[in-house]
Chains A and B, each alone.
Chain A
Amino acid sequence: KAGVTQTPRYLIKTRGQQVTLSCSPISGHRSVSWYQQTPGQGLQFLFEYFSETQRNKGNFPGRFSGRQFSNSRSEMNVSTLELGDSALYLCASSASGTGTSGELFFGEGSRLTVL
C-alpha cells in the first residue's frame, strides 16, 4: 500500500508570493490533516478535511487555506508569504480523522523557505 505523498518536497519563495502544497493520502483514507512544524513550536495543527469538508481548523490566519478533492487528495495554500511561514508542512492521513484513536500516517513533508 502506497504511503502519504507530498509535493513538492522543497521550495523557495519570496515574501508576498503564494504557494500551493499537495498531499495524496493513503488509498481509502478520507481524512487529511495539515500540520506546520518549526524547531521551536513543534507540530501545530492547521486544518483537517474529511470527505471534502473542513472538519477542524487551527489558530492560523486566513492566509492559510486548504481544500480536499473527491479523490481525497488535498491542497493547502498560503498567500502573501511572510518570513515566519518558513517551515516543514506535514500532511497526515487517517481512516477516521485526527483526534480519533486511529493512527495518523504522515507524509515526508514539504519544506518551504521564504526569503
Chain B
Amino acid sequence: GENVEQHPSTLSVQEGDSAVIKCTYSDSASNYFPWYKQELGKRPQLIIDIRSNVGEKKDQRIAVTLNKTAKHFSLHITETQPEDSAVYFCAASIEGNTPLVFGKGTRLSVIA
C-alpha cells in the first residue's frame, strides 16, 4: 500500500521567512495530494490540494509543487505569520480508489 514520508517533523522560522515542508510517496499511481493544517487543539482542515496533472498550485501565501518522477511534493509558505504556527499533514491517494494516507506531520513554529 501507499506510504507517505514527511520531513521535517519540526520546523521553526522567523516571522516573515519562508517555510518548506516536503513529502515523498511510494505508489506511483497516486494522483491526489492534499495538505491539512491542524492548529493546537483544533481539527485538521484542508488548506490546499493538487492533482497529478499539474506541477504547481498557488493560493495567496501558500503553494504546493509536485514532482511525479521523483514522487515527492512540497508545501511552501511565504511571508510566514504567527497564525501559520500549526501541525501540517500531507497526504496521498489514488483519487476515487484508495483512502488518504497521511504523513506523520510537521510542527511549524513561527517566531515573532
Contacts and interface: CB of A to CB of B under 8 A. Distances in A.
Interface string B74-112: 000000000000000101011111111111110000000
A45 B101 contact: yes
Given A4-B43, A43-B44, A99-B100, 15 more contacts: A33-B99, A40-B104, A42-B102, A42-B105, A43-B91, A43-B105, A48-B99, A56-B98, A90-B44, A99-B94, A99-B96, A101-B49, A103-B34, A107-B43, A108-B42
A106 B89 CA distance: 13
B44 A106 contact: yes
Contacts of B68: none
Contacts of A106: 43-45
Interface residues of B, number: 27
Interface residues of A, number: 26
Top 8 nearest A-B pairs (CB, nearest first) are A42-B104, A99-B93, A43-B102, A106-B43, A98-B99, A56-B99, A103-B46, A42-B105
Contacts of A44: 102
B32 A99 contact: yes
State the main secondary structure of chain A at its contact with B.
loop
A98 B94 CA distance: 10
Q: Name which of B44, B94, B98, B100 has the most chain A CB atoms within 10 A of its CB.
A: B100
A48 B96 CA distance: 13
A58 interface: yes
A43 B37 CA distance: 12
Interface of A: 4, 33, 35, 40-45, 48, 56, 58-59, 90, 96-101, 103-104, 106-109
Q: Name which of B96, B99, B101 has the most chain A CB atoms within 10 A of its CB.
A: B99
Nearest to B45: A106
A101 B100 contact: no
Interface string B24-62: 000000001010100000111110010100000000000
8 contacts: A33-B100, A42-B104, A43-B44, A99-B32, A99-B94, A99-B100, A100-B32, A101-B51
